[in-house]
């Protein structure tokens, strides 16, 4: 997996951080956070926090004590150990888009299906820059609602040998996902010792954690599986319009969720989550790749480090309907700050289109290209005497060229990163090759990947046990 050992780009001064610190302390203790779950309220009450209705007024110092129990870094095991992932520190792990009900391939936009889900899982397996297909890579609308978490988990387990995300629609779904993961890894103990699932717990921002998400959090945290506590903030709608206010709210929400996890199981792995952008104040539409979201992202990294927590943010976000210029530059407007901030867990790294409503096949390839380019850009170069190539200058002299120099011949195969999608063909050659734009070339690449796909090997007995589990549970769930 990728380690980002380049410097972090930090934009908050110490004064600014102190102001934010004062801000979340006040918000946490005076406005408080709602938890729509009795068990959560009980835990907070027993820990001496003030609870009124569903609102918990948390003592900031108590919160920091809980936060200090969470590990700063942790491992996640994949069924192929080569695909194990480390969350935190310099590590950056990348998962595909999460949640879109629709898909786009070429000019066609339609409901996502289970077949699409499987194809995206296959693509995530095929692109080595991705550490995970994520979770709901598209909503499989053609499968029964109550049991589709079983089908999705089974697809992630069998079509990929990378880490995957847990279903969070309900506590029941979470329990099923954990049970299927126990089957894949052999036992509950095996996954409690080294977690194998990472799950997204979204806040119903502002300042409310909803019942179903909390149910899922209880299941996952009790099983020592990491949860990504994520304020879901579109500034102007779910938070005030000022970035500092959104940051303060984000801290309050994330830390309150993290404190809960530590009450459920002290030391359980958690991730400081961030999904932060702004709406267009004229239309109310969410917008992505905006200057405000870029700044918010950079600040989020600095804030997570301030609390010594791994963090999630970023991705290839865009509002664009199609994989065009806007899709390309908006994706990068988020992905570049993602690398500058050194985000540890990057959801939506590939395939996000149309504000997250659409999983795009061509966009998936474009984003994989961007992540790969950035991984190369954020790899420090070596600077030593040999790299200065004085001998090459002696050989070439003034006004010549280095194409045939010894120094070049020794290095030409590996010296520069070679993209798989970008074209640098000259005009004549590009015309001869069909004058294909980037989306067209991306379409050819994903189709070839799917044609060539071979599922990673899986023990027959495990596969059978998983299938039996899915069949039995589907029947129990009435589908």
Within positions 284 to 313, which residues make up the interface with its own copies, using CB under 8 A? 284-292, 294-295
Q: Is there a contact between 262 and 69 (Cβ–Cβ < 8 Å)?
A: yes
Tell me the window of 30-38, 64-72, 259-267, 444-452 that interacts with its own copies (CB under 8 A): 30-38
> Which neighbouring-strand residues pair with 50?
57
Stretch that binds its own copies, among 3-11, 77-85, 261-269, 450-458 (CB under 8 A): 3-11
State the nearest-atom distance from the C-beta of 168 to its own copies, in Å. 18
Q: Which of residues 254-283 bind its own copies (CB under 8 A)?
A: 278-283
Residue 357 Cβ vs its own copies, minimum distance, rounded to whole Å: 7
Contact between 194 and its own copies per CB under 8 A = no
CA distance 273 to 314: 10
The interface with its own copies within residues 214-253 (CB under 8 A) comprises 235-245, 248-249
Find the part of the chain contacting its own copies (CB under 8 A) among 37-45, 145-153, 204-212, 344-352: 204-212
Q: Is 55 near its own copies (CB under 8 A)? A: yes
Question: Rule CB under 8 A: which of 413-432 touch its own copies?
Answer: 413, 415-419, 421-427, 430
DSSP 7: P
# binding residues, its own copies (CB under 8 A): 127
Residues in 118-177 that interact with its own copies by CB under 8 A: none
Which of the ranges 268-276, 300-308, 404-412, 457-465 carries the binding residues for its own copies, by CB under 8 A?
Answer: 404-412
SS (H, E, C) 237-286: CCECCCHHHHHHHHHHHHHHHHHHHHHHCCCCCEEEECEEEEECCCCCCE
Question: Residue from 50, 411, 432, 448 that binds its own copies (CB under 8 A)?
Answer: 411
With beta carbons less than 8 A apart as the criterion, state whether 4 and 336 touch.
Answer: no
Per CB under 8 A, the list member of 111, 377, 468, 476 interacting with its own copies is: 377
Q: What is the DSSP code string of 207-224? A: SEE-HHHHHHHHHHHHTT
Peptide bond into 206 cis (omega under 30): yes
Q: Any contact of residue 354 with its own copies (CB under 8 A)?
A: yes
Q: How far apart are CA 174 and CA 188, in angstroms?
A: 14
Binding part of the chain for its own copies, among 119-127, 133-141, 254-262, 375-383 by CB under 8 A, reads 375-383
Q: What does the angle CA 289 – CA 294 – CA 298 come to, to the nearest 5 degrees?
A: 150
Q: Which of residues 93-122 bind its own copies (CB under 8 A)?
A: 109
Q: Is 399 exposed, middle or buried (0-12, 13-18, 19+ CB in 10 A)?
A: exposed
């Amino acid at each position: 997996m990728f380690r980002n050992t380049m410097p972090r780009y930090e934009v908050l001064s110490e004064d600014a951080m102190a102001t934010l610190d004062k801000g979340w302390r006040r918000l946490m203790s005076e406005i408080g956070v709602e938890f729509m779950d009795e068990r959560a309220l009980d835990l907070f009450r027993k820990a001496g926090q003030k609870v009124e209705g569903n609102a918990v007024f948390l003592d900031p110092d108590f919160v920091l004590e809980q936060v200090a129990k969470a590990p700063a870094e942790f491992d996640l095991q994949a069924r192929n150990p080569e695909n194990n992932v480390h969350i935190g520190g310099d590590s950056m792990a990348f998962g595909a888009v999460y949640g879109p009900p629709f898909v786009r391939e070429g000019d066609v936009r339609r409901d996502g299906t289970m077949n699409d889900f499987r194809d995206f899982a296959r693509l995530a397996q095929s692109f080595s820059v991705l550490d995970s297909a994520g979770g709901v890579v598209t909503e499989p609308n053609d499968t029964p609602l109550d049991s589709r978490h079983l089908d999705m988990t089974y697809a992630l387990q069998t079509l990929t040998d990378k880490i995957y995300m847990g279903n969070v629609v309900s506590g029941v779904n979470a329990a099923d996902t954990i049970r299927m993961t126990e089957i894949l890894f052999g036992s509950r103990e095996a996954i409690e010792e080294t977690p194998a699932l990472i799950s997204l717990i979204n806040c119903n921002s502002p300042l409310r954690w909803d019942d179903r998400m909390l149910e899922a959090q209880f299941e996952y945290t009790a099983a020592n599986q990491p949860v990504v506590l994520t304020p879901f903030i579109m500034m102007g709608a779910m938070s005030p319009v000022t970035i500092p206010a959104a940051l303060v709210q984000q801290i309050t929400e994330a830390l309150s969720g993290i404190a809960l996890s530590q009450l459920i199981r002290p030391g359980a792995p958690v991730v400081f989550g961030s999904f932060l952008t702004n709406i267009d104040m004229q239309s109310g539409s969410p917008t992505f790749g905006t200057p405000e979201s870029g700044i918010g992202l950079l600040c989020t990294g600095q804030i997570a480090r301030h609390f010594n927590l791994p963090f999630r943010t970023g991705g290839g976000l865009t509002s664009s309907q199609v994989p065009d210029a806007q899709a390309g530059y908006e994706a990068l407007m988020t992905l570049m700050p993602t690398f500058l901030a050194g985000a540890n867990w990057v959801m939506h790294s590939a395939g996000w289109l149309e504000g997250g409503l659409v999983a795009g096949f061509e966009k998936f390839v474009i984003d994989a290209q961007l992540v790969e380019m950035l991984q190369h850009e954020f790899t420090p170069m070596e600077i030593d005497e040999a790299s200065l190539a004085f001998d090459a200058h002696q050989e070439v002299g003034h006004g010549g060229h280095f194409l045939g120099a010894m120094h070049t011949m020794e290095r030409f195969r590996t010296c520069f990163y070679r993209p798989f999608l970008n074209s640098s063909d000259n005009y004549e050659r590009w015309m001869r090759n069909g004058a294909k734009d980037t989306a067209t070339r991306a379409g050819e690449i994903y189709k070839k990947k799917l044609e060539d796909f071979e599922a990673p090997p899986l023990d027959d007995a495990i596969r059978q046990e998983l299938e039996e589990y899915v069949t039995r549970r589907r029947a129990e769930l009435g589908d």
